[in-house]
Every structure is written in C-alpha cells, then in structure tokens.
Structure 1
Amino acid sequence: MAQSSARKSTNLTIDAVLVRSAKDLGINISRAAEDGIRSAVSKTMADQWKQENQASLKSSNDFVENHGLPLARNRLF
C-alpha cells in the first residue's frame, strides 16, 4: 500500500491512561494511530482477498495434489 503525505484531521476517542503513557514515553500519538490503522487495513484487505479467492486457491492446491506440479518434469534440481 502506498504511503500518502496528505493528512486528514480527525477526532479519536482513546483510553486516557493509554494516551498519558504514550505522551510520557514520547510516542507520537497521531503517527502511532496511523501505523495501527494502516496495519489493520492491510490485514483486513489480505483476509478479504484470501476469502474471495479461497475457491481458486483450493482448486489450484487440489490440482497439484492430484497431478503434481505442472512443469515438474522440466526442473533441473
């Protein structure tokens, strides 16, 4: 996923103790939130892709299990 330099101001409700701890540790809360959201988006997109392509992946795996790798005879190792 490409990282964008454009920023959008937003409001978040975050546990007060967590915010205090982050500030005490010098953590950039906005950047940490952005990193966490980016990670969640990436994971969710990957999970959705796997779900959407589950039948195709199973079909491909079943083919290899039943017939072997299509070009296995051309392997030099």
Structure 2
Amino acid sequence: MVSRARQAEDRDDALAAEAKALGIDRAQIATHDLAAAIKAEKERRWRIENADAIRAANEYIEKHGLPFAEYRRF
C-alpha cells in the first residue's frame, strides 16, 4: 500500500514534469498563487473583523434608505 504522502509526491513529480515539458515557469505560478491565497485570506479576515459594522450599515439602509438617494441620477 502506498502512503498518501508518497502519492502526493508522485503527483507533484508528474505535475512538475508536465510543467517543464510545456515550458511553464513554476516559480512564477507559485508566486502568483501564493499572492492570491494571501489576498483571499486578508479579505476573509477583513469581512470577519468588520461584520458588525457591515451589518449595522445594512440595517441602517434598510430602515432609512440610502443617504441622499433623492439626488441620485442612476
């Protein structure tokens, strides 16, 4: 029986070989993916940290409508 770690390593090796054959810069892809993961995590944390303020703003708008709505032209 092959361990999960070994299966993952084999899969990683296969992907690395395919990327090399296609001329894909793995470092550039890894950097891009890491940056995207960091951005997503920061956004997730921001939503959690600001959930009360967002909820309060939405409740205000539901109760009072949008401020200055009568001046909107769209």
Band of TM-score, shorter chain? 0.7 to 0.9
RMSD: 1.8
Aligned to 2:68: 71
Provide structure 2 residue ranges, at least 5 long, that are not aligned to the other structure. 1-8
Query: Is the deviation greater in 36-45 or in 13-22?
Result: 13-22
Bigger radius of gyration among the two: 2
Structure (1/2) with the larger helix percentage: 2
Post-superposition offset of 1:36? 0.5
Residues 15-66 of structure 1: CA deviation (Å, up to 9, x unaligned): 1111111111110011110000001001111111111101100100010001
Question: Could you list the runs of 4 or more consecutive aligned residues of structure 1 that deviate by over 6 angstroms after TM superposition?
Answer: none
Give the gaps of 5 or more residues in structure 1.
1-12
Match of 2:59, SS? helix
TM-score (norm. length: structure 2) = 0.78
Fraction of identical pairs, as percent: 32
2:72 and 2:34 map into 1 onto residues whose CA distance is 43
For CA contacts below 8 A with separation 6 or more, give which structure has more relative contact order.
Answer: 1
Number of aligned residues: 65
Q: How high is the TM-score relative to the length of structure 1?
A: 0.75
Partner of residue 42, structure 2:
45
